[in-house]
A and B are shown apart, each in its own frame.
Chain A
Amino acid sequence: MTSTSLTADTQADAREGAVAERVRKIRENQGAGVSRAEGWRRRGPLLPALIFMIVVTQIPFLFTLYYSTLSWNLVRPGSRQFVGLNNYIAVAKDSQFWRVGLNTVILIVGVVLISAFLGLLLALLLDRAFLGRGVVRTLLITPFLVTPVAAALIWKTTILDPTNGILNWVLSLVGIGPVDWIGQFPLTMVMVELIWQWTPFMMLLILAGLQSMPRDILEAGRVDGAGAFQLFRELTLPHLRRFIELGVVLGAVYLVNTFDAIYMMTQGGPGIASANLPFYIYQRAFLGFDMGQAAAMGVVVVIFTMFIASFALRLIFKSFSGKEEAA
């Protein structure tokens, strides 16, 4: 039997350059033909879903852009005419729009931050094993599952009603007089209801984060002499940061569309005190039939949301899709 031998490697730059040259040539030869057919075979199954989504979501949005350049009221037929950016100017001058925009921001920021905080507390509570933990978790996620309009209805009537609502009854026990919650604090009450519904979501995300934390780091910390609070601050919280961030960003994205609670609890009122952008636009379009204006507002909301959404997308792609395993 013979043996063959080759020179052992020396990593001179020239050699690396020669290798890269070869690789380039090989890739060139392969370029067309095989990989293209393969590429279609691989991407094929994706197409139906992709086409469906493009048709159903992108095309309507293009129309919205178009409508925003029209002055068009559904009730007055034949009133469609191109007015360029007039609608946008009107929107910019519409003080109600900006007030409602402010409401929207307050709503989103308030609900997201408070429910994230509460969610953190709940997750910490649930992270330890205790009797009946599974049951408590089931109880805690229920608010998120309740149909939003049903939930809003229950809050409006049985809980917040000035005369017979439970909240006022409980407060009366400590001598606080009956308060017309929805009448006096409409936006706040909507926010409370939303916080009730969204805290479970935050809790679940953060709980997943807590449970994904490798225990041996905590053990190492304990051996090194850290107390419970220090462990939390130095080890747990940094680990949780990306989960909390994800919850905040996703929550914000989902909450931009809040509609059900406002519709059911306050109808945006009194006036526009508790209206948010989707509700306001809805009023303009379906109650006022002013399509052009509503469309312009819709476009503005989209631009505003793209800002948040780009954070969300970057976060999801970057910190979480670590391993792309090839099948």
Chain B
Amino acid sequence: MASITYTNATCIYEGSDKLAVDSLNLDIQDGEFVVLVGPSGSGKSTALRMLAGLEDIDEGSIEIGGKNMVGVPSKDRDIAMVFQNYALYPNKTVAENMGFALKLRGVSAEERRKKVEEAAKILDLTEFLDRKPAKLSGGQRQRVAMGRAIVREPQVFCMDEPLSNLDAKLRVQTRTQIAALQRRLGTTTVYVTHDQVEAMTMGDRVAVLRFGKLQQFASPNELYDRPANAFVAGFIGSPAMNLVTLPVAPDGVKIGDSTLELERAELSKISEAGLSEVTFGIRPEQLELSDSDGVDVVVDLVEDLGSEAYVYTHAGTGMELVARCNPRTAPKLAESVKLRKHPDGAVHLFHPQSGERLN
């Protein structure tokens, strides 16, 4: 059983009065692949390192498999970690790197060799077993770092931005392989990244962190369809969701000269909160070009990605809107077009000050 539970876990920045991680509560199931994502300084790496025992748990607790880890040193936690810069032992060969933990545990040389070769086969490292890290490419080193973790068959895998030092193409390849590997091994994994694409594609559930506080912990779909606050809404999804603060009208919100109608339930939530303005969110793919109705905008930039195109526009008052469209029918620069919401497009309403979701 290797479920992980963070209970009000808090960590203070060394030598300062700021909280790196603030009362984090997470409930991770055995075998789950959880991604911690957020911008720099969000505390995601610190939260991971608290789990691994590399940062102190200043308040609250972290349990692994039901056992409280406060005060337990790293070497006794049975956790394997893949570091961002791989942290391979430079003076040891690949085989020795991978077998080090087993050697420390007193596993026989034969048994070690067997396990190392097994892992090497999975990761395609067999021909490199006798080389030292200095003679490997970045991608190979990354695999050795993974191999070192796999060989140990630990309770938990911790991964701290393991892909960020790889070039783009390799990153995409390795991403799928890590996910598949985890599914095969079934080990509980906590994975840190700043790249929301990685988070969305790899995680069973994703925890979004900001300034040390948890924003939302849910499946990728839920994060995408029902972000809990304006920050999550703007962070998840690329290009980002359009977020604009709009004045409230009797039957909806005013965009420019036109009014966008809202549901009855949504309107009542807005009036309950007594708001004259609301933060309105809509994803680029929920906006479409129209000839008839909608908001008047001027095209600033068109990004043609081959399979789709994104149109960056601005409305009269300087409000910027991004919409997705078909690359073959994309408008031209400086053209004046109309944007309207997809008939069943979802809208997201947030409190203009607190950012919390209203609908």
Contacts and interface: CB of A to CB of B under 8 A. Distances in A.
Nearest to A27: B12
Interface string B220-234: 001100101111000
B355 A4 contact: no
Interface residues on B, range: 20 to 34
Interface in A6-22: 6-10, 19-20, 22
B17 A5 contact: no
A3 B231 contact: no
Interface residues of A, number: 20
Interface string B113-129: 00000000000000000
Given A3-B217, A20-B17, A8 B229 contact: yes
B75 to A, nearest CB: 15
B10 interface: yes
A30 B70 CA distance: 12
B357 A5 contact: yes
Nearest to B357: A5
B33 to A, nearest CB: 13
B310 to A, nearest CB: 26
Contacts of A8: 210, 215, 229-231, 354-356
Contacts of B59: 22, 26
A2 B25 CA distance: 13
A30 B10 CA distance: 13
A287 interface: no
Contacts, number: 66
Interface of B: 10, 12, 14, 17-19, 22, 25, 58-59, 71, 205, 210-211, 213-219, 222-223, 226, 228-231, 353-357
Given A3-B226, A9-B210, A20-B17, A26 B10 contact: yes
B10 A4 contact: no
Contacts of B211: 9
A4 B58 contact: no
A1 interface: yes
A294 to B, nearest CB: 47
A50 interface: no
Contacts of A326: 14
Nearest to B211: A9
A27 B19 CA distance: 12
Given A6-B213, A19-B19, A1 B205 contact: yes
